[in-house]
Amino acid sequence: MSLAIVWFRRDLRLADNPALAAALADHQRILPVYLHAPGEEAPWSPGAASKWWLHHALADLNRQLGGRLLLLPAADSVTTLVHLVERSSAAAVYWNRLYEPAVVARDTRGKQVLRDSGVAARSFNAALLFEPWEVSNKQGSPFRVFTPFWKNLQASGVPRQPVVVPDLGGRLIGERAFARLAGADLEELGLVPAIPWYTGIARAWQPTRAAAEARLEEFLASDVRRYAGGRDLPAKDQVSRLSPYLHFGQLGPREVTAACHAAKDPAAEFLREIGWREFAHHLLYHFPNTTDSPMDGRFDAFPWREDESDLGAWQRGETGIPMVDAGMRQLWASGWMHNRVRMIAASFLTKNLLLSWRSGARWFWDTLVDADLASNSLGWQWTAGCGADAAPYFRVFNPVLQGEKFDPRGVYVRHWVPQLSRLPDKWVHQPWAAPAEVLAGAGLSLGANYPQPLVDLKASRLRALDAWGRVK
């Protein structure tokens, strides 16, 4: 009976898994494998929050596989796969594609090495609606602007239906053979740190396939009706919270889009966000340098400041700007930040503090449970004004006005910055402007129990525009 290895990566689900479905169609026995090789994703190896999520997602996948997920640490995935093929007598290796530059290079080499050794190697698309090479403009080039990209996808027939995966019943490699292959215990991968800084993240999230399905069902049953009007209101939290499940492949985009189209209530606005995710991955595939280099070459000469003190204050949520601080504290406590607030915090870093978008992208990469290289790179370049379809650099989010518009009663700010909880609504987004008696009545002493603003918002905006004027 022929045996196939199914190499799981960020497709940690059994449903809508085209590699698994194809392996089951072609072979009688299946060996599910996860190779832990974070060094192969350098310089963008998984961050701390991502590793926590990965640990629990792998545990969940292993439960679904009846404890038959072979975990192997790998200094070199290709070499490890070749050895595993030899030990298991596998006839083929199946996997689902990823689109980050380092992984593309690794997988291309792996496919060639396996085929040269006489082993079938097949890869599939489980992460996107369309392959990056399937979508192009009338000139045959990749889209660099989202709206025509999304119109093109819609005209192409979104959604594509999820892949039906046959029942695994009795098809996994036998217990004796599995034991002989001797993989690692999950704890041996060292994904969960000894110091439990992640307790807040653990309270906020359940990194399982069942939780992903439940959240999708809940969102489409209720929150989607309020999504268009509530998505920008951080205190309401009327967003999907599906991003980490999509990143780790516990949900697939085909599953999400099919469910959206089947839902009773309109989900068009949310589907655009799935389109943005798709756009980000297509851009990264076609422009792999965007993780570290601006798409707009003028920004190569931009005079970014280097100030570790200001960067640290921003990371800790101690800038003295309530909306920014609330978002950064939410991020640290829960591994996630509301999208509207992400834009506000990113604008403050790149415009008001004049610190590079690269520093912000690195911090988000380490602290977000949904840290996705494509989306993270696109988001930061968009806010900084140097990427595809970017907001113009001179668009500077005023965090006071943004707070007053999207958190008018200060509910979000007060939750994450409790030092401001007794301030009247009028001052909660700009405590430095409050009269002394108001501050005293609220128990607030600026510079003591809450910081003075790092910068003057008006003056720092003018500084940013001056810097832009020198390179544009």
C-alpha–C-alpha distance, residues 12 and 164, integer Å: 16
Asked if 152 is an active-site residue, the reply is no
> CA-to-CA distance for 312 and 315, rounded, in angstroms?
5
Which entry of 100, 273, 278, 404 is annotated as an active-site residue? Answer: 273
Burial class (CB in 10 A: 0-12, 13-18, 19+), 49: buried
CB-based contacts of 141: which residues, under 8 Å, 6+ apart?
A: none
Q: Measure the CA–CA gap between 223 and 173, rounded to whole angstroms.
A: 42
DSSP codes joined into one string, 30-55: EEEEEEE-GGGGTTS---HHHHHHHH
- Kindly write down the DSSP assignment for every residue of 333-371, as one continuous string: HHS---HHHHHHHHHIIIIIS-B-HHHHHHHHHHH-TT-
Query: Per residue in 70-101, is it b (16+ CB within 10 Å) or e — as a string?
Result: bbbebebbbebbbebbeebebbbbbbbbbbbb
- CA 168 to centroid of chain Cα atoms: 30
Is 7 annotated in the active site?
no
Residue closest to 216 by CA, chosen among 178, 246, 172: 246
449 is catalytic: no
CB 25 within 8 A of CB 96: no
| Active-site residue, 336 included | no
Residues making up the chain, counted from first to last = 472
Annotation says 100 is catalytic: no
Q: What is the DSSP letter of 423?
A: S
What does the angle CA 332 – CA 336 – CA 341 come to, to the nearest 5 degrees? 95
- Rounded to 5°, the CA angle 86-37-132 comes to 95
Give, in degrees to the nearest 5, the angle at Cα 359 between 354 and 362.
155
What is the C-alpha to C-alpha distance for residues 288 and 44, in angstroms, rounded to an integer?
12
Q: Which of 44, 150, 380, 468 is catalytic?
A: 380
Which of 44, 332, 357, 365 is flagged as catalytic? Answer: 357
Quick one: which of 326, 240, 323 has its CA closest to 276?
A: 240
Kindly name the residue from 44, 95, 276, 336 that is annotated as catalytic. Answer: 276
State yes or no: is 276 an active-site residue.
yes
Which residues, 6+ apart, have CB-to-CB distance to 158 below 8 Å?
Answer: 129, 257, 271, 275
Tell me which residue has tokens 């449903």. Answer: 15
Backbone angles phi, psi at 36, to 5 degrees: -95, 105
Task: Name the residue type at position 202.
Answer: A
Closest by CA to 384, choosing from 415, 352, 412, is 352
| Residues carrying an active site annotation | 273, 276, 304, 339, 357, 380
